[in-house]
Amino acid sequence: MSILKRQLAPFGEKVWKAIEGEAKKVFKRRLTSRKIADYIGPKGLDFAAEGVGKVIALKEKLGGVSIGVREALKVLELKTHFVLKREEIDLIERDAKTFDDAAIVEAARAFSDAENAIVFDGFKTEGIDGVVSSLTQKPVKTHGDDILPAVAEAVRALRDEGVQGPYALAVQPQYYSKLFSANDYPLTKKLSELLNGGKTINAPTLKEGALLVSLRGGDYEILGGIDISLGFEKETSAGVELFFFETFTFRVNTPEAAVALQW
């Protein structure tokens, strides 16, 4: 893919694979967005908008002919740069078992959090709603550390709306570590039962409390053009400047398919 300019990099496939391997560890752990929403794509670099089926009627007419404009979700481009030092590239080329991956990890974390933020909170300036920003269900209050009654109430609220499971419970890190650091088997077992075999997720970019989301499919969609990819920018005095890149938009099909839990 020419936009990634990988053919211009001063190293070969071995280094690309090593960098991607380290980044994938971060994405697998931190991309909460992909754990609660369907990823549809990739649709390619030319994917620039997604129709939503609505038409806005304009006041202007041409010779008595009315005009309407179809609404569409804009596609966003995400890109973040980082520099990999030359000595680390040399280590990889010499088959070293370890190398300093701090720059890769930091960039992958920032990139993950950006996608997560768009999926949870939307991107209002471009007309994109998120899971939280589009909530229609009344939030459920939790009392202290006993989260089970609140989860049970939230599950009932979803089922009352005809939203079936399994369900995911996305939890802010501060509450996640507090609730699950002790590896409380009775708690995790009961949660699994309430979630109908779903999962509990540590959600680093969730701004408040927790969020119960249906995983039945079709409610929330990440519409991808180019999935997360690694590219070459330029050589620098410090090393080689690389970047993560993706294009996507986000669509909420069923706003009532999630419930917020508040402490």
Give a yes or no: residue 161 inside a domain.
Answer: yes
In a domain, 194, yes or no: yes
Contact 229, 1 (CB under 8 A): yes
Total domains present in the chain: 1
Per-residue confidence (pLDDT) for residue 156, from 0 to 100: 97
Query: Token digits for 204?
Result: 């680093």
Enclosing domain of residue 212 = 2-55+66-262
- Output the six-digit token pair for 203: 């959600």
pLDDT for residue 52: 85
Three-class secondary structure of residue 199 per DSSP? strand
Q: What is the pLDDT of residue 255?
A: 97
d(CA 202, CA 190): 18
CB 199 within 8 A of CB 11: no
- Residues 168 and 213 sit within 8 Å (Cβ to Cβ): yes
pLDDT at 232: 98
- CB distance 154 to 261 below 8 Å: yes
Contact 54, 254 (CB under 8 A): no
128 assigned to some structural domain: yes
Is 223 a domain residue?
yes
- Determine the pLDDT at residue 15: 97
The answer as to whether 201 is a domain residue is: yes
User: Residue 89: inside a domain, yes or no?
Assistant: yes
Structure pTM?
Answer: 0.91
86, part of any domain: yes
Which of the residues in the chain have pLDDT under 50?
A: none
In this prediction, residue 53 carries a pLDDT of 87
Q: For residue 203, give the CATH number of its domain.
A: 3.30.2400.30
DSSP states along 125-137: GGTB--TTTT--S
For β-strands 239-252 and 220-224, DSSP reports them as: antiparallel
Whether 61 maps to a domain, the answer reads no
Task: Return the pLDDT at 183.
Answer: 58
